[in-house]
Amino acid sequence: MGIPLEDNAEDILGKARRGLRLPGETSPEKLGLGAAALRASTAKSWYPNDPDPIPGLACFNTPFEDMTVNSYVVFDPQTRQAAAFDTGADCSGMLQLDVKISHIFLTHIHIDHIVDLERLKERTGVPAYVSEREPIAGAETFADGREFQIGGLRIETRRTSGHARGGVSYVVTGLARRLVIVGDAIFAGSMGGGMVSYAEALQTTRDGILSLPDDTVICPGHGPLTTVGEEKLHNPFFAV
C-alpha cells in the first residue's frame, strides 16, 4: 500500500457533523453520508486502485507538522515543458526534475500547500497563479474557467471552493490519462473540511470534479491518488 488514506471513519463523521452543525449525530443518513462507504471506511476494507505510473506526472509527498501534503509537477513528455501545482512543505524534489517549469499553479492558499512558494518562484523564475477569489502577494490572479497551454497539455481551471474561498481544481489533458489536481476539495474516501461553506464544498466538488469521466485520475492535496469512478462509489460524502 502507498500513501495512507487521509481520513478514517471518525474523521469523516466529524467533518459531516461540523459541516451540518449536528455535533451529536451518528446516523449516516441524517449526516448525508453513504452508509456502505462509511462502513468500508470503519472496517478499513477499501483503498483506491493504483492508477499505475503516468508519463508526465510526478508526485511529491512531504511532511508538514503532524501530516503530509502532496504537490505535483505535470509535464509534456516530448518537450519537457512543465507546470508545478502547489509546493507542499518542500519543493526540492520538484527542482531536481529534468523539466522546464514555466507556471506554478495554486489550488488554494492554506499554508501547508504553499510553504515553499517563494523558493520555487526564486529558483525557477516563473510566475505563480491563484484564483482571483483568494489573492495572495506574489501570485497573479485568474478568473474561473481560464485555460492554459503547457507544451502539448491543456489545463482547464474549475471552481471547487468551500474548503477554501479560492479553491481551484486543474483538469489536465494531453497525457495518457486525464488528470484533475484538486487540492483539498476531495481526498480518496473523504474531503477537506468545509472551512468556508460545507454545502458549497459538496456542490462545487460534484460539479467541478465528479462530473468528469470516471477514469479521470484525481490528484489530491493529501492521501493517495484515486479516480472519479472510485470516489463516486466509495467516498461517503458522495456515494449516497
Q: Give the closest residue to 218 by CA, choosing from 30, 85, 91.
A: 85
- pLDDT for 113-143, tens place per residue? 999 999 999 999 999 999 999 999 999 999 9
| Alpha-carbon span 106 to 54, nearest angstrom | 21
- 240 within some domain: no
C-alpha cell of residue 204: 462545487
- 42 within some domain: yes
Domain tally for the chain? 1
- 1 within some domain: no
- 29 within some domain: yes
pLDDT at position 240 over 90:
no
- Write down the pLDDT at residue 136: 97
pTM for this prediction: 0.98
- pLDDT for 27-76, tens place per residue? 999 999 999 999 999 999 999 999 989 999 999 999 999 999 999 999 99
Domain residues for the domain of 68 are: 9-46+55-234
Output the CA angle 226-228-233, nearest 5 degrees.
Answer: 95
What average pLDDT score do residues 211-231 get? 98
Q: 158 to each of 132, 146, 185, 216, 220, how far by Cα in Å? A: 12, 8, 11, 14, 14
pLDDT at position 22 over 80:
yes
- 2 within some domain: no
- 4 within some domain: no
- Write down the pLDDT at residue 194: 82
The domain that holds 148 is classified in CATH as 3.60.15.10
Q: Do residues 108 and 167 make contact, with C-beta atoms less than 8 angstroms apart?
A: yes
Q: 37 to each of 118, 184, 202, how far by Cα in Å? A: 40, 19, 16
- 3 within some domain: no
- 239 within some domain: no
pLDDT at position 220 over 90:
yes
pLDDT > 70 fraction of the chain, expressed in percent and rounded? 100
What average pLDDT score do residues 142-160 get? 97
Q: Which residues pair with 69 in a beta bridge?
A: 62
pLDDT at position 1 over 70:
no
